Structure 1
Amino acid sequence: MALSRADTSVLGRWWWTVDRWTLAALLALIGFGYVMLLAASPGVAERIGASSRDLFILKQVFFLAIATGVMVAISVLPVKQVRRLALLGFFVSLLMTAATLSMGVEIKGARRWLHLAGVTIQPSEFMKPCFAVVAAWLLAEARSLGWRATGAAIFLFALVAGALVKQPDMGMLIVMASVFCAQLFVVGINLMLVAGCGVAGVLGGIGAYFTLPHFQSRIDRFLDPSAGDNYQVTIAMEAFGHGGMLGVGPGEGRLKALLPDAHADFVYAVAGEEFGLALCLLILTVFGFIVLRGLLRLLGEKDMFIILASTGLLTQFGLQAFINMASALHLIPTKGMTLPFISYGGSSVVAVALGMGMLLALTRRRLARTGEA
Structure 2
Amino acid sequence: MRKLLSRFQGDKAIWAYVILLALFSFMPVFSASTNLVHVVGTGTIIGLLLKHFFHIFIGIVIIYVVHRIPFDKLKFIAPVAWFPVFLLLVFTALQGMVIGGANASRWLKVPGVNISFQPSSIGWIALMAYLAWFLWRFADEKYTFKWSLLWVWLPIGLIVLPIFPSNLSTAAIIFFMACVLLFMGKYPVKYLTKVIGAGAIFGIIMFFAVKAFPDIMPSRFNTWVARVDRFGSDEKDVDRYQIDNAKIAIAQGRMFGVGPGKSIQKNFLPQSSSDFIYAIIVEEFGFLGGIVVLIVYVLLLWRFLVVSSKASNLFGKYLVVGLGFSIVFQSFINMGVAVEIFPTTGQPLPLISSGGTSIWMTCVSLGIILSVSRREEEVRQQLKENQEKEEEFRRILEEQELQQAQIDESNPMSAVINK
Query: For the structure 1 residues 328 and 156, does the alpha-carbon distance in structure 2 shift closer, same or farther, using more than 3 Å as the test?
Result: same
Q: Which residue of 2 aligns with 1:44?
A: 36
Q: Which residue of 1 aligns with 2:171?
A: 173
Counterpart of 2:222, as a letter, is: P
**Is 2:146 aligned against 1:152?**
no
Q: Which residue of 2 aligns with 1:270?
A: 280
User: In the aligned structure 1, how far is the partner of 2:163 from the partner of 2:139?
Assistant: 30
Give the TM-score normalised by structure 1: 0.90
Query: For the structure 1 residues 245 and 106, does the alpha-carbon distance in structure 2 shift closer, same or farther, using more than 3 Å as the test?
Result: same
Counterpart of 2:272, as a letter, is: A
User: In the aligned structure 2, how far is the partner of 1:314 from the partner of 1:102?
Assistant: 31
Q: Which residue of 1 aligns with 2:2?
A: 2
> Are 1:45 and 1:55, in contact at CA under 8 Å, matched by a contact in 2?
no
User: In the aligned structure 2, how far is the partner of 1:240 from the partner of 1:317?
Assistant: 23
> Are 1:248 and 1:273, in contact at CA under 8 Å, matched by a contact in 2?
yes
Q: Give % identity.
A: 26
> Are 2:316 and 2:372, in contact at CA under 8 Å, matched by a contact in 1?
yes
User: In the aligned structure 2, how far is the partner of 1:21 from the partner of 1:331?
Assistant: 29
Counterpart of 1:187, as a letter, is: G
User: In the aligned structure 1, how far is the partner of 2:286 from the partner of 2:367?
Assistant: 31
**1:294-326 deviation line (CA, Å, top 9, x unaligned):** 112322333221121111112211110011100
Counterpart of 2:276, as a letter, is: F
User: Which has the higher mean CA deviation after the structures are superposed, 46-55 or 213-222?
Assistant: 46-55
> Are 2:27 and 2:260, in contact at CA under 8 Å, matched by a contact in 1?
no
**Is 2:58 aligned against 1:66?**
yes
User: In the aligned structure 1, how far is the partner of 2:134 from the partner of 2:14?
Assistant: 27
Counterpart of 2:359, as a letter, is: V
Q: CA deviation at 1:144?
A: 5.4
Aligned partner of residue 252 in structure 1, secondary structure: coil
**1:78-124 deviation line (CA, Å, top 9, x unaligned):** 12234456567644433222111222414554510011121111111
User: In the aligned structure 2, how far is the partner of 1:193 from the partner of 1:252?
Assistant: 52
> Are 1:60 and 1:345, in contact at CA under 8 Å, matched by a contact in 2?
yes
User: In the aligned structure 2, how far is the partner of 1:100 from the partner of 1:92?
Assistant: 12
User: In the aligned structure 2, how far is the partner of 1:202 from the partner of 1:77?
Assistant: 39
Q: Which residue of 2 aligns with 1:8?
A: none
In angstroms, what is the RMSD of aligned CA positions?
2.3
Q: Which residue of 2 aligns with 1:30?
A: 22
Q: Which residue of 2 aligns with 1:351?
A: 361
Query: Which 5+ residue runs of structure 1 have no aligned equivalent?
Result: 5-10
Higher relative contact order (CA 8 A, sep 6+): 1
Query: For the structure 1 residues 302 and 200, does the alpha-carbon distance in structure 2 shift closer, same or farther, using more than 3 Å as the test?
Result: farther
Query: For the structure 1 residues 361 and 156, does the alpha-carbon distance in structure 2 shift closer, same or farther, using more than 3 Å as the test?
Result: same
User: In the aligned structure 2, how far is the partner of 1:151 from the partner of 1:293?
Assistant: 34
Give the TM-score normalised by structure 2: 0.80
Describe how 1:287-302 pairs up with structure 2 within 5 A.
287-302=297-312
User: In the aligned structure 2, how far is the partner of 1:71 from the partner of 1:156?
Assistant: 27
Query: For the structure 1 residues 141 and 87, does the alpha-carbon distance in structure 2 shift closer, same or farther, using more than 3 Å as the test?
Result: closer
**1:225-258 deviation line (CA, Å, top 9, x unaligned):** 4252111110111111111111111121111111
Aligned partner of residue 297 in structure 1, secondary structure: helix
> Are 1:321 and 1:339, in contact at CA under 8 Å, matched by a contact in 2?
yes
User: Which has the higher mean CA deviation after the structures are superposed, 76-85 or 153-162?
Assistant: 76-85
Larger radius of gyration: 2
> Are 2:32 and 2:273, in contact at CA under 8 Å, matched by a contact in 1?
yes
Describe how 1:1-373 pairs up with structure 2 within 5 A.
1-3=1-3, 12=6, 15=8, 17-84=9-76, 90-106=82-98, 108-116=102-110, 117-143=113-139, 147=143, 151-165=150-164, 167-210=165-208, 211=210, 212-226=221-235, 228-364=238-374, 365-367=376-378
User: In the aligned structure 2, how far is the partner of 1:367 from the partner of 1:88?
Assistant: 28
> Are 2:89 and 2:162, in contact at CA under 8 Å, matched by a contact in 1?
yes
Query: For the structure 1 residues 363 and 91, does the alpha-carbon distance in structure 2 shift closer, same or farther, using more than 3 Å as the test?
Result: farther
Query: For the structure 1 residues 119 and 270, does the alpha-carbon distance in structure 2 shift closer, same or farther, using more than 3 Å as the test?
Result: same
> Are 2:350 and 2:362, in contact at CA under 8 Å, matched by a contact in 1?
yes
Query: For the structure 1 residues 172 and 350, does the alpha-carbon distance in structure 2 shift closer, same or farther, using more than 3 Å as the test?
Result: same
Q: CA deviation at 1:149?
A: 7.2
